[in-house]
Amino acid sequence: MRISSLFSMMFLGLILVTLVGHCYGQLKVGFYEGKCGGNNVENVIYNVVKQKIKADPDTVSDLVRVSFHDCFVRGCDGSIFLDGANAEKSAPVNKGLGGLKAVDDIKAAVEKVCPGVVSCTDVLVIGARAAISLAGGKWFEVETGRRDGFVSRKNEAQASIPPPTMPVPQAIQLFASKGLNKDDFVVLLGGHTVGTAHCHSFRERLYNFRNTKKPDSTISPTLLQLLQKTCPRNSQTDNETFLDQTPNSHFKIDNGYYKQILAHNGVMEIDQNLALYPSTRCLVTGLAHNPNQFLERFGPAMVKMARIGVLTGSQGEIRKSCGSVN
């Protein structure tokens, strides 16, 4: 293709974006405008999420985490919400996954003002954006127009969600298989700036790391003492601790997580290794030293993740209830 032709096509593309708004495939910012009478469903979702966070600050991390667990299995199709003995939510990797009930409640509120129009998948995408904004993150536009899938399989969830022990190079390859690059991986893992992890996710690091009969040497002595107190060696109680150890920052979207892993205060193995692996350490350092850099990049990374395996048109449906197909 000649350069002049390339420039012409780029210019035409800019004109089209200006005319029809930001689009990706059949997704579009403002997809539901004019489809719900005088109701703005994004505002409805925002207000419900605000109430949820007021009642339970963990709602922020719940919605961010559910987004990841949905999109990495069959794409962003709401399959995480489907009920069933062998559905995704029953997989061990989804043990303790919060936010599912919150999405059900948000969907119910949307159905009251706009029945049968907004997918559960889009409810989650819009809800996660609201939660991020309410927790101090930068507001970003979300693309909508997704439809809900019909299939949810426990074994697929178990095989697709990366464990906290996954080596960084392997995790980078997994993200690449979903259309996400190394920078997206590092930025999205920054979602651990909010939320908690249960003992079963990191207990091995505390007492018998890699069968050495010793703790993981990359954990700072202070954090090791705290985690061993939270998760005693022979206790069967699956306690939890904050992923971001920054005081007074546990429910805030900020760059504290990156500062902590640079200080060897990463709770899960993959968190700490993110700051140690040469290919990712440089970006971690940049995000730790510049709070605005993380805030600017987190939203766009969430938007990019929300494009994975999207269903549109006749490929899916609009569920009346997120737990079952129509």
Distance of CA 300 to the CA centre of its chain: 12
By CB atoms closer than 10 A (0-12, 13-18, 19+), residue 76 is buried
Minimal CA–CA distance to 96: which of 198, 195, 241, 188? 198
Give per-residue pLDDT as tens, 262-284: 999 999 999 999 999 999 999 99
Residue 227 has a pLDDT of 98
105 annotated as ligand-binding? no
* Domain residue extents for the chain: 25-161+306-315, 168-304
Answer whether 139's CB lies under 8 Å from 303's CB: no
Collect all residues with Cβ–Cβ distance below 8 Å to 185 and sequence separation of at least 6: 171, 172, 175, 280
Catalytic residues: 69
Eight-state DSSP code of residue 139: P
Please, what CATH class does the domain formed by 168-304 belong to?
A: mainly alpha
Residue 25 has a pLDDT of 61
Minimal CA–CA distance to 74: which of 83, 85, 82? 82
Residue 19 has a pLDDT of 34
79 annotated as ligand-binding? yes
Residue 87 has a pLDDT of 97
**10-residue stretch averages of pLDDT, the chain, 326 residues long:** 38 36 72 94 98 97 97 97 96 92 97 97 98 98 97 96 95 97 98 95 96 97 98 92 95 97 98 97 98 97 97 94 94
Entry pTM: 0.90
Interatomic CA distance for residues 13 and 252, integer angstroms: 37
57 annotated as ligand-binding? no
Residue 277 has a pLDDT of 97
CATH of domain 25-161+306-315: 1.10.520.10
119 annotated as ligand-binding? no
183 annotated as ligand-binding? no
Residue 325 has a pLDDT of 93
From the CB of residue 225, how many other CB atoms can be counted at a distance below 10 Å?
A: 11
Residue 24 has a pLDDT of 60
